[in-house]
Amino acid sequence: MSTEEKGKATLKNVEGKVQEAAGNITGDPEDKAEGKMKQTEAAAQHTVENVKDAVKEEIDKH
Protein backbone atom coordinates (compact mmCIF):
# COMPACT_ATOMS: atom_id res chain seq x y z
CA MET A 1 0.00 0.00 0.00
CA SER A 2 1.41 3.35 -0.88
CA THR A 3 2.37 5.30 2.16
CA GLU A 4 0.49 8.35 0.97
CA GLU A 5 -2.77 6.49 0.36
CA LYS A 6 -2.43 4.58 3.60
CA GLY A 7 -1.93 7.87 5.46
CA LYS A 8 -4.99 9.41 3.81
CA ALA A 9 -7.14 6.42 4.74
CA THR A 10 -5.87 6.41 8.31
CA LEU A 11 -6.52 10.14 8.64
CA LYS A 12 -10.05 9.73 7.27
CA ASN A 13 -10.67 6.91 9.76
CA VAL A 14 -9.51 9.05 12.69
CA GLU A 15 -11.56 11.99 11.44
CA GLY A 16 -14.60 9.72 11.25
CA LYS A 17 -14.08 8.43 14.78
CA VAL A 18 -13.78 11.98 16.12
CA GLN A 19 -16.90 13.09 14.25
CA GLU A 20 -18.86 10.06 15.45
CA ALA A 21 -17.76 10.73 19.04
CA ALA A 22 -18.76 14.38 18.73
CA GLY A 23 -22.15 13.27 17.44
CA ASN A 24 -22.53 10.97 20.43
CA ILE A 25 -21.65 13.77 22.84
CA THR A 26 -23.89 16.38 21.23
CA GLY A 27 -26.64 13.96 20.33
CA ASP A 28 -26.40 14.91 16.65
CA PRO A 29 -27.35 11.82 14.61
CA GLU A 30 -26.12 13.44 11.38
CA ASP A 31 -22.59 13.85 12.76
CA LYS A 32 -22.68 10.27 14.03
CA ALA A 33 -23.74 8.95 10.63
CA GLU A 34 -21.17 11.05 8.74
CA GLY A 35 -18.45 9.84 11.09
CA LYS A 36 -19.39 6.22 10.51
CA MET A 37 -19.48 6.82 6.76
CA LYS A 38 -15.95 8.25 6.81
CA GLN A 39 -14.75 5.19 8.72
CA THR A 40 -16.37 2.91 6.14
CA GLU A 41 -14.76 4.86 3.30
CA ALA A 42 -11.39 4.57 5.01
CA ALA A 43 -11.80 0.80 5.36
CA ALA A 44 -12.67 0.58 1.66
CA GLN A 45 -9.58 2.61 0.76
CA HIS A 46 -7.42 0.24 2.80
CA THR A 47 -8.98 -2.76 1.04
CA VAL A 48 -8.35 -1.28 -2.42
CA GLU A 49 -4.73 -0.55 -1.58
CA ASN A 50 -4.25 -4.06 -0.16
CA VAL A 51 -5.64 -5.58 -3.38
CA LYS A 52 -3.31 -3.38 -5.44
CA ASP A 53 -0.36 -4.57 -3.35
CA ALA A 54 -1.36 -8.22 -3.74
CA VAL A 55 -1.70 -7.86 -7.52
CA LYS A 56 1.65 -6.09 -7.74
CA GLU A 57 3.32 -8.85 -5.70
CA GLU A 58 1.89 -11.52 -8.01
CA ILE A 59 3.04 -9.64 -11.10
CA ASP A 60 6.50 -9.19 -9.63
CA LYS A 61 6.76 -12.95 -8.97
CA HIS A 62 6.46 -13.72 -12.68
What is the pLDDT of the chain when averaged over all its residues? Answer: 93
3 state SS of 39: helix
The pLDDT of residue 1 is above 60: no
- Whole-model pTM: value is 0.83
Q: How confident is the model over 27-52, as pLDDT tens digits? A: 999 999 999 999 999 999 999 999 99
Q: How confident is the model over 2-33, as pLDDT tens digits? A: 789 889 999 999 999 999 999 999 999 999 99
Burial class of residue 19 in the structure, from the number of CB atoms within 10 Å of its CB (0-12 exposed, 13-18 middle, 19+ buried): buried
**H-only helix segments in the chain:** 3-26, 29-61
**One-letter amino acid identity for 2?**
S
Look up residue 27 and give its DSSP letter: T
C-alpha angle 41/44/48, rounded to 5°? 140
